[in-house]
Structure 1
Amino acid sequence: MKIRRRFRIVFKGQRYIVALALFVSISTILFILLSFRTSVYQSFELSSAVLIVDEDDLNDGKIKSTFNLQVLRSDYFNTTHLTCRYPKLTIDNPVIWKHLNPVKPLPPTCEITRNWVYVKNESSIEFLYVTVGTFRLTEEALNRYGPISCAYYPIIRSKDDFGTTEGDRISPVDDKMPLVSDFFRVHCQGQHNTSYSNVHMGIRFDPTLHLRRIKNPIVKTHLGYNILMFGFDSVSRMTFMRFLPKTYSFLIKELGAIVMKGYNIVGDGTPAALLPILTGQTEQELPESRRGRTGAVTVDKFPWIWNQFKDNGYVTQWAEDMQSVGTFQYRLRGFLDPPVDHFGRPFYRYAESRATSRPLCFG
């Protein structure tokens, strides 16, 4: 009896082991199949994405349509009722071309010495595997100059738009460290007295900003698109297509960008070009903010469009180069407080003032 009982116990234990092994095997197979199915579906979804574009945007830029584009005929948008009708222009008009002076390409001086440091969005254990801006050392630098020791200096906005300072030094900096600031200066030492110093830009992950979409969820009827607006001062739509054809083609064919053909400056100067589209009002309709004028105030209280995006759960950013002639700082009093979550002015104010052998070669 004891032998039989022991045999039953052993046999029963073996059945449990076999069952467990089968369960693990089947689960693994299902996981692999589901992962494969998901990756195939995502690849198919990306490869079969169809972008809806305006036929005029293709024709104006002399761009050929491809299989991933659904073209809206030029008469799809009824513009006959518009009071202001923009003229139909062409990029290859010989009458215009004889007055144009294309800029000659400059040699890529920034490539003479490669950066040791770069910023990459990577999954972080510290932030529960959320993708965050990460400090990285290049493989090339590590192989040629390693081991490398770096010091990190956060670049911080002062009390207003006209001051920038450095935060406390962080050293040593580990490769794959999440950024502690959007902008920073880095100084690295390598073997054989080699060194690297530069300023870099990224996006520091701030979990509190991402709580907005929980507190203020987007209405289901809204599209919830990420919205990017690019402005090129003193460059007309036609000039953009003539001298930046690859960029224009990428925006249309790869991103399905919308070209605002009816957009016009309302007045003279950059504020007149941007204030109407960013606030819905002209400079004359907004509070007096010109320097030296009686009662002039900062532009913080203007009805900026990014405030509406914040109210709908968005994370916001504003940046422009050539800070010495900033749109809202050259004639106007600028911002007292940062207007958006990620404000680029401190970076350009700091970086553009640096006297280096490679000006404007930033990280």
Structure 2
Amino acid sequence: MFSSVVNHMKGYTKIKRNPSNGMEADETKLKVPSVLWIPLLICGALLFFVDVFQIKYYSLVPTKAPLKAAFSGRKSLAGFAINTPGCRIPYMDPFDEHIMKFIEAPDAPECNKGVPALYKSNLTSVYLVNASLAFYDVMDPGELKCCYQAFWRKKPKADEGDNKVTYSVECYSLGDSANIDEEFIKVQCTYENNTIYKDMFAFVPLKNTTPVAVRISPRPLSVLVVGLDAVSRLNLHRQMPETVAYLTGIGAVELLGYNKVGDNTFPNLVPVLTGMFEGELRNSCWPTDKHHFDKCHFLWDDYKLKGYTTVYGEDSSWMGLFNYQRRGFQKQPTDYAYNFFNRIAEKEIGNAHSMNVDQCEGARLVYKDLLEYIGRFATTMDKNDVPYFGFFWGASLSHDYLNKPKLGDEDYRDFFKNLKEGGHLERTALVFMSDHGIRWGDIRQTYQGRMEERLPFVIISLPAWYRERYRRAYSNLQKNVRRLTTPFDLHETLKDLSSPYNLTEETTTTTTNSRGYSLFKEISPKRTCDDAEISSHWCTCQESFEINKTSTVVVQAANFAVDYINGELEGYAQCANLTLDVISNARLMTHESHIEGDNKIKDYMLTIRTLPGEGIFEMTVRHSVVRGKFEVIGSISRLNLYGKQSSCISDFHLKLYCYCKSLLY
């Protein structure tokens, strides 16, 4: 960089004679006064320092800058978002012309076919909305009869799924308004002997969940994790610029090199919540899908032991982390649990169904109902000076569509703004995150789409007083913005926050080799995907280039991958044998130069289509050059939806591959 500045200066040493004023100069050399070299040398040195040592750059979007302009000219770090000795992740323009063709304005759902709610709720009560009576043809309000039933989660038996509730026998009369002491209620209204309205409401009554003897003094930071399913870091900037701008405006830190470690939600959140891979979880406490998760240890258990109140909640919980093709828990895992409310609410009053989700519960948007609950929970806990650990996951807005997160931008911005203005973020560490980018669709078959799918967003907000008090820890967090990071690191960070006043100089120093480091410790710039135990298939640090998809070795690798899939389906006679139809893309992934001799390998990233069913798959096939053998590395990704093609099996891993023979006839 410095030499380029000097050369740039040299380019202006020649001038020509100006006949009009008789000025003459040496046409081959211009002598610059020595005093002028000082500022020029300082500027050159500064540019060199910025380029080489990567002066901090933590936010891609200034608070008030237009989004498109905010990204223009951001190709810093020589074209890389992460540029360390161990990892180079290329800069990618979220508004690249090859990507923008997939970006469009989403259609907003119409809840309840446009009919508004007859009752609404606040922190402690429900109340009648008189303006809604006409929509239900209620001419005489005196004849409207409404009541509510409380309901509770029902503990499942050993062979049952965690999806049942029990209702109170009595339905309590409900007038224009009523204070509610229960956690979950169902409201029903009749008019002229016909049931005209049904709704469900969730509240946060204070529970004596933690013995006073184990309460921490001074009061620790609460920890709130808010998840948004299937949103890459770049798609967050495309779809939710107001939310990003607000969070960065209050000093939140965004990780630029957060790399997923598995295919879908489960293998990427299990490491966050347990510090284990999915396979390790199976070996330790959850041997099969038919077992409950009660024997497993989760982060909320650590917080509970330290005196925190705990809460866990998801929307679209029928396909939730512990419920999709799984049996959940027998004992409720946290003090408060929103999942069970959501499951029943969507079953009873879910509507505006699209793809895999109900977008509405009655007249309310599902994702907004979850945000409302989180806000009520934070208000109740802080009002009563109760520290909490909350883990929430939203899928209804973003799970199935690349562009629908745009619909929630203002709502998420306002949600975080309300937390801030309500004083909640002064006593809370906030993590806003995703598990991966969109995993299917046309964008997923592009190079950038593949990279985005592996790079979800993580944004962390800490109170200003906490950042000031623990400067070393916060400085390390800032340094790690441009380092390779993983869900295992987030797990260690959340563990650190369970003892938030222990982040001393000694505890924030990295001393051991581990696949997971707290983000409050400086992660080595030499860290590689191998060090972090990220499979080659998911690693975004590798450089790659497109190769001839008809070459002999590529065809051999593709056929090997199809044989591998058929081998996985062995024993499932109801699934058809797959054959290779098309190789649509092939890339060669580069490796460290030290892999030589008998260990020489090449990794091929392939996108193929199989028959029957036209399934589109992406996989990494490793070729041992000397031995001539192939090996599938990591998981195989399904890039298009399979719908009911695999309805003949229940294994949630193999559903990606199976094409039921019954569909052939």
In which range does the TM-score fall when normalised by the shorter chain? 0.5 to 0.7
Structure 2 counterpart SS, 1:156 = strand
Give, in whole Å, the separation in 2 of the partners of 1:197 and 1:239. 37
Give, in whole Å, the separation in 1 of the partners of 2:291 and 2:192. 53
- Equivalent residues of 1:189, 1:196 under 8 A apart: yes
Structure 1 counterpart SS, 2:309 = coil
Give, in whole Å, the separation in 1 of the partners of 2:223 and 2:280. 26
- Equivalent residues of 1:151, 1:187 under 8 A apart: yes
Aligned to 1:277: 272
Give, in whole Å, the separation in 1 of the partners of 2:84 and 2:206. 47
Tell me how many residue pairs correspond in the alignment: 275
Give, in whole Å, the separation in 1 of the partners of 2:206 and 2:122. 12
TM-score (norm 1): 0.63
- Equivalent residues of 2:215, 2:308 under 8 A apart: no
Aligned to 2:240: 244
Larger strand share, 1 or 2: 2
State the 1:135 CA deviation. 2.7
CA gap of 1:333–1:189, structure 2 versus 1, over 3 A, is: closer
TM-score (norm 2): 0.37
Within a 5 Å distance, the mapping from 1:23-172 to structure 2 comes to 56-57=58-59, 60-61=60-61, 63-64=63-64, 83-84=86-87, 86-98=89-101, 100-102=102-104, 104-110=106-112, 112-121=114-123, 133-138=124-129, 140=131, 146-147=141-142, 149-160=145-156, 161-172=162-173
Within a 5 Å distance, the mapping from 1:167-316 to structure 2 comes to 167-173=168-174, 175-181=177-183, 183-189=184-190, 195-206=196-207, 208-209=208-209, 211-212=210-211, 214-220=212-218, 224-253=220-249, 256-286=251-281, 287=284, 289=286, 291=288, 297-316=291-310
Matched residue type, 1:185: K
Gaps of 5+ in 1: 1-53, 66-73, 122-132
Give, in whole Å, the separation in 1 of the partners of 2:216 and 2:83. 34
- Equivalent residues of 2:118, 2:129 under 8 A apart: yes
Give, in whole Å, the separation in 1 of the partners of 2:85 and 2:325. 34
Gaps of 5+ in 2: 1-55, 66-75, 157-161, 354-359, 365-665
Give, in whole Å, the separation in 2 of the partners of 1:323 and 1:253. 32
CA gap of 1:177–1:55, structure 2 versus 1, over 3 A, is: farther
- Equivalent residues of 1:154, 1:167 under 8 A apart: yes
State the 1:318 CA deviation. 1.3
Give, in whole Å, the separation in 1 of the partners of 2:337 and 2:85. 37
Give, in whole Å, the separation in 2 of the partners of 1:180 and 1:281. 36
Structure 1 counterpart SS, 2:223 = coil
- Equivalent residues of 1:289, 1:299 under 8 A apart: yes
Give, in whole Å, the separation in 2 of the partners of 1:326 and 1:248. 26
CA gap of 1:94–1:328, structure 2 versus 1, over 3 A, is: same
State the 1:120 CA deviation. 1.3
Structure 1 counterpart SS, 2:225 = coil
Structure 2 counterpart SS, 1:350 = helix
The percentage of counterpart residues that share the same residue type is: 26
State the 1:277 CA deviation. 1.0
State the 1:258 CA deviation. 4.2
Aligned to 2:49: none
- Equivalent residues of 2:58, 2:254 under 8 A apart: no
Within a 5 Å distance, the mapping from 1:13-24 to structure 2 comes to none
Give, in whole Å, the separation in 1 of the partners of 2:112 and 2:62. 32
Q: Name the Cα RMSD after superposition.
A: 3.5
CA gap of 1:226–1:117, structure 2 versus 1, over 3 A, is: farther
- Equivalent residues of 1:300, 1:335 under 8 A apart: yes
Matched residue type, 1:178: I
Aligned to 1:328: 322
- Equivalent residues of 1:289, 1:297 under 8 A apart: yes
Give, in whole Å, the separation in 1 of the partners of 2:150 and 2:195. 23
State the 1:173 CA deviation. 3.0
